[in-house]
Structure 1
């Protein structure tokens, strides 16, 4: 893919360890709520452009404001679009950035705790935020914000960790399971 392709779509496959059998389980885009206000800003450009008719000789003021609102809104929407959180069978990683690509990765074995925060608005709109805790104090993959359907995504991560055998299971006897 050419330079324009890299600027328009994040390159998830380029970061996979295909020779080791790594495959994508889930690719998470930012929830629409992360870009809602940027869409509003871009939409504000339309009334500004229309107001050029009434501005007459000072038409350039609403024109400049409209172009600025449209440019900033579309840029921020694209930056959010290029931010991807990826769950594979071996690790989790985040790729973001348009011109400069940032990659933060964490093997499943290093994930000690996953906290999910879902504010009231997130419960209404269907998004939440993840906080990954590891033994390391500073890591590049700690806060993942605006994750759509966070309960399902949390279960996917827990299932991958369990299938990899990274967590021990408690063996229950028959007497423990019947409550006696």
Structure 2
């Protein structure tokens, strides 16, 4: 993986405990909705650049600087969304994010007390939601996971992994 690949694609597999038998159940990338705002910033920057020939020559620098700022900010937000990964394994959930410096937050399955799946109206229409994890710890690095595609399926995957690991006790069949 080259320099560009190491910036835009986090190496999730190197964070696995392979000798302990840890395997990836699901790797969650941001839903496409997370890219809408940066794309709108790029469109606004393009509109400003297209209007440059029609501005007064003494003031053309201002829309040019604003357009450059919008292009840089939108590109940074796209890159942030691209490298943000939420991973469900058979032992834990973790999140890797950050462009220049990477952060990793991990929570063992045994520490997950509650998962709230928040689906705003537009999220229900477009198929995304947000996870809020509750654990026994007061402050944690893995609390809010935003713009999760197919949140109900991902929630069921986590519940299945927790149940199979035996952390919630045996299943009672009536």
Q: Which category of TM-score, normalised to the shorter sequence, fits these structures?
A: over 0.9
Q: Secondary structure at the match of 1:132?
A: strand
For residues 127 and 87 of structure 1, the distance between their equivalents in structure 2, rounded to whole angstroms, comes to: 17
Q: Which residue of 2 aligns with 1:24?
A: 24
Matches within 5 A, 1:19-168: 19-57=19-57, 58-168=59-169
* TM-score (structure 2 length as normaliser): 0.92
Measure how far apart 1:72 and its partner are.
0.7
- Work out the number of aligned pairs and report it: 173
CA root-mean-square deviation: 1.5
Moved more, 38-47 or 95-104: 38-47
Runs of 5+ consecutive residues of structure 1 not aligned to the other structure: 174-180
Measure how far apart 1:94 and its partner are.
0.3
Larger Rg belongs to: 1
Q: Secondary structure at the match of 1:70?
A: helix
Q: Which residue of 1 aligns with 2:14?
A: 14
Q: Which residue of 2 aligns with 1:176?
A: none
For residues 61 and 144 of structure 2, the distance between their equivalents in structure 1, rounded to whole angstroms, comes to: 42
Runs of 5+ consecutive residues of structure 2 not aligned to the other structure: none
Measure how far apart 1:170 and its partner are.
4.5
Q: Secondary structure at the match of 1:94?
A: strand
Measure how far apart 1:56 and its partner are.
4.8
Q: Deviations over 1:17-75 (max 9, x none)?
A: 11212111111111122221111011111111111111251332222221111111111
